[in-house]
């Protein structure tokens, strides 16, 4: 257990510090949210119609941004080789890395999400669900994104490749989360979309590390 907590502390510290971490992700998120009204026009009624969905898509993009730091750094300086030698299974190590990623970027982004949604004109009553969706969705983004990050280890232009691999995997959480938010805004029951988002996040947390570990072993072989 102490190995796991030590590893989690290391990964979280790395994800928080050193040229990246929450400030960059939130800054990118704010940037995308700022570009949006500039692109579609600032009429409140037009913006309000797309606000929850736009905030949600910006979240997915912001989650994408920090993925290439997930394995790449450890792969390049050899830490990943050492980590595979540890008694902790590589699957658990990958899960811890994604969890740390979620703590360092998913959590701050979830707190920033309602601010962006309200600034774009979404009703403040949505805020609770926006945070909940962003937390669950961030989990799915981290664990699904980790697969793409692990697969593109050692590739030329890995960052771009990660995005191409990962965006199709982001489709279901984006649909479910966006659907839940749109239903709540329309005054319809939103629990179905939210439950499906939770199911997808749970499946990503359970199955994602298997694929990630296989991909890491392949890259190191």
Partner 1 sequence: MIPAPAFLSNPERFMAFSRWAAPLFGAIAVVLAIAGLWLAFAAPEDYQQGDTVRIMFIHVPAAWMSMFVYACLGVASFLSLVFRHALADAAAQAAAPLGAAFTALALITGSLWGRPMWGAWWVWDARMTSVLVLFLFYVAYMALRAALDDEAKAARAGAILALVGVVNLPIVKFSVDWWNSLHQGASVFRADGPTVADVFLYPLLLMALAYMSAFGSLWLVRIRGEVWRRRAEALALRAARA
Q: Does residue 156 belong to the site contacting partner 1 (CB under 8 A)?
A: yes
Query: Which among 9-17, 37-45, 75-83, 169-177 is the span making contact with partner 1, rule CB under 8 A?
Result: 169-177
Return the residue of 39, 157, 186, 187 that touches partner 1, per CB under 8 A: 157
Pick from 152, 182, 192: which is nearest to 169 by CA?
Answer: 152
Alpha-carbon distance of 122 to 54, in angstroms, equals 10
**Residue 145: CB minimum distance to partner 1, A:** 12
Q: How far is the CA of 21 from the CAs of 88, 106, 150, 191, in angstroms? A: 25, 10, 19, 32
Residue with Cβ nearer partner 1 (99 or 211): 211
Q: Does residue 169 belong to the site contacting partner 1 (CB under 8 A)?
A: yes
Pick from 208, 182, 163: which is nearest to 60 by CA?
Answer: 163
Q: Does residue 180 belong to the site contacting partner 1 (CB under 8 A)?
A: no
Query: ∠ at Cα 65 (59, 70), nearest 5°?
Result: 120
Return the residue of 78, 124, 128, 168 that touches partner 1, per CB under 8 A: 168
Token readout for 96 is 């811890």
Q: Which residues bind partner 1 (CB under 8 A)?
A: 147, 151-152, 154-158, 161, 164-165, 167-169, 171-172, 211, 214-215, 218-219, 221
């Amino acid at each position: 257990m102490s190995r796991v907590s030590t590893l989690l502390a290391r990964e979280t510290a790395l994800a928080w510090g050193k040229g990246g971490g929450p400030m960059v992700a939130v800054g990118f998120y704010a940037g995308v949210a700022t570009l949006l009204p500039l692109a579609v026009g600032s009429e409140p009624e037009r913006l309000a119609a797309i606000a929850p969905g736009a905030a949600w898509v910006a979240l997915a993009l912001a989650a994408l941004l920090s993925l290439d730091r997930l394995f790449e750094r450890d792969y390049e300086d050899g830490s990943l080789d050492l980590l595979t030698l540890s008694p902790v299974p590589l699957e658990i190590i990958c899960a811890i890395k994604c969890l740390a990623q979620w703590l360092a970027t998913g959590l701050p982004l979830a707190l920033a999400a309602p601010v962006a949604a309200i600034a774009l004109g979404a009703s403040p009553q949505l805020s609770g669900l926006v945070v909940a969706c962003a937390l669950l969705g961030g989990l799915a983004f981290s664990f699904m994104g980790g697969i793409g990050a692990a697969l593109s280890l050692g590739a030329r232009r890995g960052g771009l490749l990660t995005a191409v691999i990962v965006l199709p995997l982001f489709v279901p959480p984006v649909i479910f989360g966006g659907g839940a938010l749109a239903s709540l805004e329309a005054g319809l029951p939103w629990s179905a979309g939210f439950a499906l988002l939770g199911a997808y996040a749970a499946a990503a947390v359970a199955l994602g590390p298997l694929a990630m570990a296989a991909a890491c072993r392949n890259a190191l072989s």
